[in-house]
Amino acid sequence: VAAAALAGAGRAPAGGPLQRALAAGFADSAQRDSQLSMLRCWLAGTSLPGGLAVRADLRGRILQTLSARGLAADGDLDALVTADPVSGREIAATCRAMRPDPAAKRAAWQAALAPSTEWRLALGHARGIWVPGQDELLADYRDRYVTEALPALDGRRSRVAEYLARELYPATLTDPRTLAVTGAALQHGQLSSWLRVIVDELDAELASVLAARVVAGRGWPLAGTQPDT
């Protein structure tokens, strides 16, 4: 996907919406060392497809991908805030939370749940915690979602608390243990009705993912089709 998006950005009309969309796709999906190095070049304003400018949105996407791999420095994030004072602080908080570092995860978790944290920053911290591929680093936060996050949010009935309940859910730990942990919290009946609805919805989405994996693994037919005989 990243290779195709990069190639397409090079062929697309210079500076047009198609080129910007393909560049964003490359920034989101880059994985190989050479692709990540290319993103570093883009940040420096080099090796860009003709006509492409690294605006605030693309810069944020690039820094999130690099941050998730520990490749974005504090100076990069500070420059983002300087270039985009409106949303840069929130994106920088997400980037710092995405770093594959235990201290970064602890800081983001605490900031997301602290009542004193400004709501945009709280959401920014929360959005960066759960990163695919960081399962081992985040394993403890599955239980902490139930023991820490849900009780903290239950007493803060607000739209922000609802968003945080969704963003902090251990969605990347797609295994039956996640359903068991959150399901136990639902069965205890100690959650407010609004929070129970959110967790139940998130559990249903995760259960659908697990069911799809089983179907794909066993080669079961799609609904409405007949298996080969």
Q: Which of 42-51, 63-72, 217-226 has the lowest mean pLDDT?
A: 217-226
d(CA 99, CA 51): 31
Q: What is the mean pLDDT of residues 17-46?
A: 96
Q: What is the mean pLDDT of residues 17-37?
A: 97
What's the pLDDT score for residue 224? 45
Q: What is the mean pLDDT of residues 130-147?
A: 96
**What residues have CB less than 8 Å from 47, skipping those under 6 apart?**
38, 41
Q: Tell me which of 6 and 225 has the higher pLDDT.
A: 6
Q: What is the mean pLDDT of residues 10-31?
A: 97
Q: Please give the backbone phi and psi of residue 220, each rounded to the nearest 5 degrees, phi first.
A: -70, 150
pLDDT in tens, 69-93: 999 999 999 999 998 888 999 999 9
Say yes or no to pLDDT of 223 above 50: no
Confidence bin at 119 (pLDDT 50/70/90): very high
Q: Please give the backbone phi and psi of residue 158, each rounded to the nearest 5 degrees, phi first.
A: -165, 170
Say yes or no to pLDDT of 65 above 60: yes
Helix (H) / strand (E) element for 126: namely helix 119-127
pLDDT in tens, 163-200: 999 999 999 999 999 999 999 999 887 889 999 999 99
d(CA 140, CA 133): 15
What's the pLDDT score for residue 210? 92
Q: Which of 57-61, 108-112, 157-161 has the lowest mean pLDDT?
A: 157-161
What's the pLDDT score for residue 216? 78
Output the average pLDDT for the chain.
Answer: 92
Say yes or no to pLDDT of 219 above 70: no
What's the pLDDT score for residue 130? 98
CA 63 to chain centre: 13
Count Cβ atoms below 10 Å from residue 130 Cβ, excluding itself: 21
What's the pLDDT score for residue 218? 59
Say yes or no to pLDDT of 67 above 50: yes
